[in-house]
Structure 1
Amino acid sequence: MSIKSLCLLGLLLLGACWAADAQDSLRMYHTFDSIRTLPNDTAKVSLLIRAGKQYSRYFDNHRSENLFWQEALPLAHKLRSARSLALVYNELGTSKRNKSQYLVAEDYHEKAIKYAEEANDTLLMCLSFNNAGVDCRRQDKLQQAFDYHLHALQLAERINDVRNICVATNSIGNIQLTAENYEDAIRHFDRALKLEEQSHNDLGVAINLGNLGYAYQGQNKLDLAIHYYHRSLAVNQKIDNPTGMAICYNALGAAYKEKKDYATAMEYLQKALAVNDKVDDKVHVAESYLNIGKLLSAQNKHEEARKYMQQSIELSMFWNFKSMLMEAYKALAADYKASGDFRRSLDAADKSLLYKDSILNEKSAMALQQMQTIYEVDRKDNQIKTLEHDKVIGELRRKRNVMFIFALAGFLLMAMIGGFFYIRHRNLEANKQTLQLELKSLRSQMNPHFIFNSLSSIHRYIWSNNQEEASDYLTKFSRLMRLILDNTQHTFVTLNKELESLRLYLDLESLRCNGIFEYNIRVGPDINDEEVLIPPMILQPYVENAIWHGLVHKHNEKGQLDIDIVLKDRSLVCTITDNGIGRQKAMEIKEKKGKGHNSVGMKVTEGRIDLIRKINNKEAKVTVNDLADTAGQPAGTMVTIILPAEFIF
Structure 2
Amino acid sequence: MKNGLFCLLLFCCPTHLLAQPDVKVIRHDSLKRELGRTKSDTLRVLIYEQLMGVSPQRKAVIDYGQQGFNLAKQIHFDRGAIQCGNKLGFMLVELDYYKAIPILMETKQLAEKLEDPQALLTTILYLGYAYNKFDFQKAQYYYTMARQLVEKDHIPESVTPISRILGQFYYNWNVLDSALFYSKKAYQQGQQANISPNVLNKLYDVQFGKIYYKMKQPDLAMRYFRRAIASATGNPNGQVYEGLAMIFRDRQQLDSARYYAKKSLAIQQERNETIYIIQTATLLFELYQASNPAEALKYHLLATATKDSLKTQEKVRQAEKAAYEDREREAATQRRFKAAELDYQNRLKLYALVGLLGIAILVAYFLYRANRQNRKLEAQRLRQLETEFEQKLADTEMMTLRAQMNPHFIFNCLNSIKLYTLQNKADKASEYLTKFARLIRLVLENSRSERVPLQNELEALQLYIELEAMRFKQKVQFMIQVASEIDQQYVQIPPLLLQPYVENAIWHGLMHKAEGGFVQINVCQSTDHLLHVEITDDGVGRERARALKSKSAGMHKSFGMQVTADRIRMINQLHNVQTQAQVVDLVATDGEPLGTKVVLDIPI
Compute the TM-score of the two structures, normalised by the length of structure 1: 0.45
User: Highest Rg: 1 or 2?
Assistant: 2
